[in-house]
């Protein structure tokens, strides 16, 4: 029986690649740097904003703190210019909520930005918990946020799941000793991490999870 599902955000619930790439290239442009290809920037995503910026300016001698400030400010103002929910997410979350499963988000994105995005797409009400990268827990792949939610909702290891598109999600699940599923439709990289199953759509995840 499934009692708790922890979701990643970027690449799992939302397709945010163009807005993230736009913020990075805006930052690079204001610092006199050439733009990077979108897919290259997307490959930098998954370990929080600081690591994204460090990777994005690794070819230049510029001030990191200033680069980070510019990127974050621009991104805050352009959170949903092109970002959208993946197909089936709204309907799927509603279905999981009706099944009385506790739903949570664990993301390396700041909590306020996460809440703005969820509110924009009218899905915030489905989540019992939203844990951002600026909260009290270390970033994924550290498992602390998962363990906190399991304790809060009194769910056993076999009743708890992590669903994401990146190795940080899968590693966090492994280290928390819970089950995990991979969103192959996202833009993350599973690397060598194992998972219980993979899906090519959010609707497929909902269908599969109801079988456990």
- pLDDT tens-digit readout, 51-86: 999 999 999 999 999 999 999 999 999 999 999 999
Residues of the chain with pLDDT under 50: none
Write the CATH number for 48. 1.10.150
Active site residue: 8, 10, 15, 19, which one?
8
Are 65 and 148 in the same domain?
Answer: no
Please indicate whether residue 77 is annotated as part of the active site.
Answer: no
How far is residue 146's CA from residue 209's CA, in Å, rounded to a whole number? 18
Nearest-angstrom CA–CA distance, 209 and 197: 10
Say if CB 23 and CB 53 are below 8 A apart.
no
Burial of 8 (0-12, 13-18, 19+ CB in 10 A): buried
122 and 187 belong to one structural domain: yes
Determine the structural domain holding residue 42 and report its residue range.
17-77
Provide DSSP, 120-187: HTT-GGG-SEEE-TTSSSPPTTS-HHHHHHHHHHT--GGGEEEEESSHHHHHHHHHHT-EEEEETTSS
Q: What is the CATH number of the domain that holds 167?
A: 3.40.50.1000
- Separation between Cα atoms, residue 104 and residue 123, nearest integer Å: 12
Burial of 65 by CB count in 10 Å (0-12 exposed, 13-18 middle, 19+ buried)? exposed
124 and 193 part of one domain: yes
Are residues 132 and 120 both part of a single domain? yes
* pLDDT on residue 46: 87
User: Where is the domain boundary, 77, 108, 128?
Assistant: 77
The reported pTM is 0.95
CA–CA gap between residue 198 and residue 182 (Å, rounded)? 4
DSSP state of 121: T
Q: What is the pLDDT of residue 45?
A: 93
Number of domains forming the structure of the chain: 2
Same domain, 44 and 136: no
């Amino acid at each position: 029986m499934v009692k708790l599902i922890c979701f990643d955000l970027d690449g799992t619930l939302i397709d945010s690649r163009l807005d993230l790439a736009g913020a990075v290239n805006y930052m690079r442009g204001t610092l006199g740097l050439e733009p990077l290809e979108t897919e290259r920037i997307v490959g930098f995503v998954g370990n929080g904003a600081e690591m994204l910026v460090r990777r994005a300016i690794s070819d230049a001698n510029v001030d990191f703190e200033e680069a980070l400030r510019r990127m974050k400010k621009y991104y805050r103002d352009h959170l949903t210019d092109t970002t959208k929910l993946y197909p089936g997410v709204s309907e799927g979350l509603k279905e999981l909520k009706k099944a009385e499963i506790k739903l949570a988000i664990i993301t390396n994105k700041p909590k306020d930005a996460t809440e703005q995005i969820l509110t924009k797409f009218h899905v915030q009400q489905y989540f019992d918990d939203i844990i951002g990268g600026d909260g009290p827990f270390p970033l994924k792949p550290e498992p602390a946020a998962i363990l906190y939610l399991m304790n809060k909702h009194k769910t056993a290891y076999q009743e708890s799941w992590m669903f994401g598109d990146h190795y940080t999600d899968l590693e966090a699940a492994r280290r928390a000793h819970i089950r995990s599923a991979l969103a192959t439709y996202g833009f993350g990289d599973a690397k060598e991490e194992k998972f219980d199953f993979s899906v090519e759509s959010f609707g497929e995840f909902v269908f599969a999870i109801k079988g456990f």
